[in-house]
Chains A and B, each alone.
Chain A
Amino acid sequence: MSATVYPAPKTSSAPPLSQKPGAEASCPAGIFVLLAGGALWLVIATLLALLDSLKFHNTNLLAGQSWLTYGSVQAASSAAFLYGFGVPAALGLGLWFLCRLGRCALAGPVCVFVGAVFWHCAVAIGIGAILCGRSTGFASFEIPLWCARLMFAAYLMIGICALITFHKREVERLYPTQWFVVGALFWFPWIFSTAALVLLAAPERGVLQPVAAWWYAHNFDNVFLSFAGLAATFYFIPKIIGRPLYSHYQAVLAFWTIALFGSCGGIPFGAPVPSWITSLSLAGTILTALPIAAVAGNFYETARMDFGALDAEPALRFICVGLLFWIIAGAQQIAGALPNVSAITDFTLFGAAQKELFHYGFFALTVFGALYSILPGLLGLDGSAWSPKLLKLHFYFSFLGALISYAALLVAGLEQGILLAEGRNSFDDVMGRTLFPLRMSTLGDLLVAGGAVLFLLNFVGVLDKARRQCCARLKEAA
């Protein structure tokens, strides 16, 4: 039961994404565009979410414009997060992991660069279309069909290069991160194309549409984003702590059970569908307790509560807190799916709280942790390029923001559900009484948006340093 030892890399210990000076030429610009663009979209998504949150305080806020109604802004914010930040972050990090763990250079860097630019443009057009009233009306798939086709084409450009990179790897043994990356790479086009076909291109009849939409949204979160985020978690936690992952086979179990059970779910228990569909969905959701336990147990044994490492390496904080939030969000999803609980909590803000924690608590924080580790290397700098003060402030803003927003929405949702379940309160009364915690979530949204802005500022600082270094080198060469 000894640790798997990687064969010594053929070149020096420096990775191919070299940190040697003058390495900009080999800097995979595509990965950089994906990640940087993603960070920008995250700021936009958080600002739009903040605007929506403010509308709960004053319903007349910007109500005069048709493109700024609550529904439009909410759809735009969701699309910006999922397609502007979520997919590019998953792709960018995934490509980086494949290169790093495979000990090879990125295949088709030009293709990746073009694909990345194309993707971001397509998302921008899509969000513009949503604000102009062309949203599809399906949660998590608001992008209109013609735009979805553009995004799919861009994805194929990047995805094929990723597969070639994976194929070209020089290390035979696969580390869990690579499975998760490949899993995410395959899962997204399959669910995206199915949803586009069945919801928009050749729409199914009647209630089959929401079933497919719920299936897609559940798969996007529970499989695609989980795979993408956990890929980073499995990479960075053992690496930064300096200990091997506790159990390879436990990771195998976690991987396959996330794919199998995480994909079967998402249908609300009271949905207008025959009972077998909701029962299967419930069974799948309950069984997601298995990967949660497997991942939690694996990392608990790996880290053994080594809190010293958290102080030494700030990026680790993001990753660990992200993992914790993934576990909590997953547990809440299971609890909320049980019939007795879902009778009270379905269609209340309870579900909104879980999504908030999953997206901004788990995925965004994990990606931030990864970005803090990766981005300087892409620009030919080292980790000291980040401003420690901004980093620390960003961590507290994002962490507390996600926590406050989550807790406020959770309280609001539970209160809403319990008061409605009593049966003697009118809906208007119930919403009046849950207004206070709902408005508290605005504070959380403000902190989350602030954190994203702080990251952007820090990032701009790093870009500036890279530019100065680049100019200095050009002067030297001249």
Chain B
Amino acid sequence: MNSGPLLFLGLFATMAVSWIGFILTPQMQLTGLSQTNTVAVGNTLPETYPVAPSGEAHAGAEVYRANGCAACHTQMVRPSDLGSDLRQEWGVRRSVAEDYLLREPVMPGSVRIGPDLANYASRADTNDINRLYLRLYDPKQITHGTLMPPYRFLFDTRKILFFPSTNAFVPPDADAPPAGYEIIPRPEARALVAYMLSLRQNGYLYEAPPPESLRAKATNAVPTNAAPAAAKPAPAPK
């Protein structure tokens, strides 16, 4: 162990092992994934999955990133035997690579100081936009003991001119603006809400099929992802 060049070569070889294992091979295996169909259950039809998020949702992902939301929230659901995620009703199935195909950047997070958000749009009342804004403006009004800070800088308080704006956010009385003023969510807040409403991972997939109890009601599961190995139809029973 006294030779500089040999030391370098050894280090290069060990680096190559981990680089090939974790950077190159996953790239070769997973870079060819394309949109696929969900496994339909019951009366539903298979749908294309994943769906590309809207432009505003994409802008919202940037707001999510800039504010460091990933420091407290994760966006991945673990399978039932590897955690309590499904029991917390954070999703109907585990997350797989297909779920993040059209997301840029991918921010799965690393610690849960707040709940997992992978399926936020499936859980939240998507019609009550005001409540979504309230979650950002004053989270304590929704969850009393929450550790989430208020994000009031995403909103403007403006004087009402002639008549109130249709975009205005209506807070509860405790946070009501002074008389004659209204609270308007900024574009960042609107984008962030659009992003939150795009967070959905609730269709079953080939890699994450419906559980035993729902399997009888499922009608198709032709694996259509790009992996050649998966393209075999189900083996006929002997």
Do A and B share a direct contact in the complex (Cβ within 8 angstroms)?
yes
Q: Which of A111-160 contact B (CB under 8 A)?
A: 133-139
Q: Is A307 an interface residue (CB 8 A)?
A: no
Q: Which of A188-227 contact B (CB under 8 A)?
A: 190, 194, 198, 203-212, 215, 219
Q: Is A375 an interface residue (CB 8 A)?
A: no
Contact in complex: B11, A347 (CB < 8 Å) = no
Which single residue of chain B is at the shortest CB-CB distance from A211?
A: B26
Most A Cβ at <10 Å: residue of B17, B26, B76 = B26
Most B Cβ at <10 Å: residue of A194, A256, A431 = A431
* Alpha-carbon distance A428/B148, docked complex (angstroms): 11
Q: Is A349 an interface residue (CB 8 A)?
A: yes
Report how many residues on chain A are interfacial, defined by Cβ distance under 8 Å. 86
Q: Which of B64-78 contact A (CB under 8 A)?
A: 64-72, 74, 76-78
Complex interface bits, A299-313 against B, C-beta within 8 A gives 1, otherwise 0 = 000000000000000
A59, A209, A346, A347: the one contacting B105 at CB < 8 Å is A209
Which single residue of chain A is at the shortest CB-CB distance from B103?
A: A206
Query: With A210-B108, A431-B146 given, can you name 6 additional A-B contacts, CB distance below 8 Å?
Result: A64-B153, A72-B68, A208-B30, A211-B26, A259-B14, A343-B84
Q: Is B222 an interface residue (CB 8 A)?
A: no
Contact in complex: A270, B82 (CB < 8 Å) = yes
* Alpha-carbon distance A252/B140, docked complex (angstroms): 55
Interface residues of A (CB under 8 A from B): 55-56, 59-61, 63-66, 69-72, 74-75, 133-139, 166-167, 172-174, 179, 182-183, 186-187, 190, 194, 198, 203-212, 215, 219, 252, 256, 259-260, 263-264, 267-274, 277, 280-281, 284, 339, 342-344, 346-349, 351-352, 416, 420-423, 426-428, 431-432, 435
CB proximity of A304 to chain B, nearest CB, Å: 25
A207, A269, A431: the one contacting B100 at CB < 8 Å is A207
* Alpha-carbon distance A280/B26, docked complex (angstroms): 12
Q: Is B33 an interface residue (CB 8 A)?
A: yes
B84, B97, B108, B111: the one contacting A274 at CB < 8 Å is B97
Contact in complex: B22, A211 (CB < 8 Å) = yes
Question: Can you pick out 13 interface pairs between chain A and chain B where the beta carbons lie within 8 Å of each other?
Answer: A56-B147, A71-B70, A71-B71, A133-B67, A138-B107, A190-B15, A207-B106, A212-B22, A346-B82, A347-B83, A347-B111, A427-B114, A435-B145
B71, B78, B107: the one contacting A270 at CB < 8 Å is B78
Contact A75-B11, Cβ < 8 Å, known A349-B111, A435-B145 = no
Contact in complex: B107, A137 (CB < 8 Å) = yes
Q: Is B220 an interface residue (CB 8 A)?
A: no
List A contacts of B102 (CB < 8 A). Answer: 206
Complex interface bits, B113-125 against A, C-beta within 8 A gives 1, otherwise 0 = 1111000000000
Contact in complex: A70, B23 (CB < 8 Å) = no
A137, A348, A426: the one contacting B112 at CB < 8 Å is A348
B8, B18, B116, B149: the one contacting A219 at CB < 8 Å is B18
List A contacts of B15 (CB < 8 A). Answer: 186-187, 190, 259, 263
Which single residue of chain B is at the shortest CB-CB distance from A137?
A: B65
Most A Cβ at <10 Å: residue of B8, B65, B103, B139 = B65
Contact in complex: A277, B26 (CB < 8 Å) = yes
Which single residue of chain A is at the shortest CB-CB distance from B139?
A: A59
List B contacts of A259 (CB < 8 A). Answer: 10-11, 14-15
Contact in complex: A206, B140 (CB < 8 Å) = no
Contact in complex: B76, A270 (CB < 8 Å) = yes
* Alpha-carbon distance A69/B65, docked complex (angstroms): 12
Chain B, interface residues (CB within 8 Å), range = 35 or more
Contact A352-B71, Cβ < 8 Å, known A55-B149, A174-B2 = no
* Alpha-carbon distance A56/B72, docked complex (angstroms): 12
Q: Is B4 an interface residue (CB 8 A)?
A: yes
* Interface residue stretch chosen among B36-44, B88-96, B165-173, B175-183: B88-96
* Alpha-carbon distance A426/B101, docked complex (angstroms): 30
CB proximity of A209 to chain B, nearest CB, Å: 4
Contact in complex: B26, A59 (CB < 8 Å) = no
Q: Is B79 an interface residue (CB 8 A)?
A: yes
Contact in complex: B152, A63 (CB < 8 Å) = yes
List B contacts of A432 (CB < 8 A). Answer: 145
Contact A272-B94, Cβ < 8 Å, known A59-B140, A420-B88, A432-B145 = yes
Q: Is B27 an interface residue (CB 8 A)?
A: yes
* Alpha-carbon distance A108/B88, docked complex (angstroms): 59
Complex interface bits, B121-141 against A, C-beta within 8 A gives 1, otherwise 0 = 000000000000000000110
Contact in complex: B72, A71 (CB < 8 Å) = yes
Contact in complex: B14, A260 (CB < 8 Å) = yes
Contact in complex: A182, B147 (CB < 8 Å) = no
Q: Is B48 an interface residue (CB 8 A)?
A: no
* Alpha-carbon distance A282/B219, docked complex (angstroms): 36
List B contacts of A347 (CB < 8 A). Answer: 74, 83, 109-112, 116
List B contacts of A269 (CB < 8 A). Answer: 82
* Alpha-carbon distance A210/B30, docked complex (angstroms): 13
Contact in complex: A277, B66 (CB < 8 Å) = no
Contact in complex: B147, A135 (CB < 8 Å) = no
Contact in complex: A203, B99 (CB < 8 Å) = no
List B contacts of A174 (CB < 8 A). Answer: 1-2, 7
Most A Cβ at <10 Å: residue of B19, B23, B87, B100 = B23
Q: Which of B162-209 contact A (CB under 8 A)?
A: none
CB proximity of B136 to chain A, nearest CB, Å: 11
